[in-house]
């Protein structure tokens, strides 16, 4: 690629609010991969809380704002399979009855990517001089896995991290119970699901659990820490950017 592609980083609301370090790690990775990174103003959320609760009007209003803010970039990249799935798969559905907007949404959606899949598929990036001297297990977030077919990409990137040993857990592809507003609307079911997830993590004896979505990570970390478990919880971008060894884990002492 000749000119560096211009990236609009869709930070995602949870990274923006809860874990800015994931945003900075994403910027660092995209730059190392040869991109020019921008963080467009005016971004708040992808609109999933509205869309998944049946409020299509607000989902559409937010989608219009996101598309307008990001469509001028070569690519829109988000450190989340869930938000990227919303942008890529569901925005075109939202405008199904509006041909002009649908075309705009489809053009935009085509250039939207989740971070690890963008690094692997578009930039052919491979981390170098990055280490993480721990065993880790990887949780496949549902939207990334099933809407965007993200499975090998993060693992391929992690395989280039020196010192990192990846141990697969049982049921890595089973939902952790986050589910957006589901986790607070049906907390008992959600906690049962995340408890099963945590049990599978514990069975691997891994030092760390990684994933590509803040929602799942907050949920898993919240449960692990409530149980007094020391397993370190990190976003995959933090490890790939080389911050994994030094950064405090999610929900660990800062």
Residues 74-93 that bind another protein (CB under 8 A): none
Instruction: Map residue 76 onto helix, strand or coil.
Output: strand
225 counts as binding another protein under rule CB under 8 A: yes
The burial class, CB within 10 Å (0-12 / 13-18 / 19+), for 17 is: exposed
Of 4, 31, 38, 135, which lies in the binding site for another protein, with binding defined by CB under 8 A? Answer: 38
Of 221, 231, 237, 240, which lies in the binding site for another protein, with binding defined by CB under 8 A? Answer: 221
Site residues for another protein, 6-25, by CB under 8 A, read 11, 15-24
254 counts as binding another protein under rule CB under 8 A: yes
Distances from the Cα of 122 to the Cαs of 74, 75, 134, in angstroms? 12, 10, 28
103 counts as binding another protein under rule CB under 8 A: no
Contact stretch for another protein (CB under 8 A) within 99-107, 110-118, 214-222, 237-245:
214-222
Site residues for another protein, 126-145, by CB under 8 A, read 142-143, 145
Give, rounded to a whole angstrom, the gap between the first and last alpha carbons of the chain: 40
29 secondary structure, DSSP code: H
**Cα 40 versus chain centre, distance:** 18
144 secondary structure, DSSP code: I
Which of residues 100 and 184 has its CB atom nearest to another protein in the complex?
Answer: 184
28 counts as binding another protein under rule CB under 8 A: no
């Amino acid at each position: 690629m000749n000119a560096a592609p211009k990236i609009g980083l869709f930070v995602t609301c949870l990274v923006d609010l809860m874990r800015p370090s994931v945003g900075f790690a994403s910027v660092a990775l995209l730059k190392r991969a040869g991109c020019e990174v921008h963080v467009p103003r005016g971004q708040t959320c992808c609109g999933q809380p509205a869309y998944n609760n049946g409020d299509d009007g607000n989902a559409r209003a937010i989608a219009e704002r996101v598309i307008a803010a990001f469509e001028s970039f070569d690519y829109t990249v988000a450190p989340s399979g869930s938000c990227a799935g919303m942008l890529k798969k569901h925005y075109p559905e939202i405008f199904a009855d509006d041909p002009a907007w649908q075309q705009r949404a489809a053009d935009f959606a085509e250039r939207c990517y989740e971070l690890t899949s963008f690094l692997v598929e578009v930039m052919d990036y491979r981390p170098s001089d990055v280490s993480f001297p721990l065993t880790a297990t990887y949780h496949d977030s549902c939207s990334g896995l099933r809407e965007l077919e993200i499975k090998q990409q993060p693992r391929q990137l992690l395989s280039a991290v020196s010192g990192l040993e990846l141990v697969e857990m049982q049921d890595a592809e089973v939902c952790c119970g986050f589910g957006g507003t589901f986790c607070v609307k049906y907390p008992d079911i959600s906690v049962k699901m995340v408890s099963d997830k945590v049990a599978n993590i514990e069975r691997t004896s891994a030092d760390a659990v990684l994933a590509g979505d803040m929602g799942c990570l907050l949920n898993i970390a919240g449960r692990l820490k409530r149980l007094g478990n020391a397993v370190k919880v990190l976003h995959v971008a933090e490890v790939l950017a080389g911050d994994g060894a030094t950064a405090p884990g999610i929900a660990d002492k800062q």
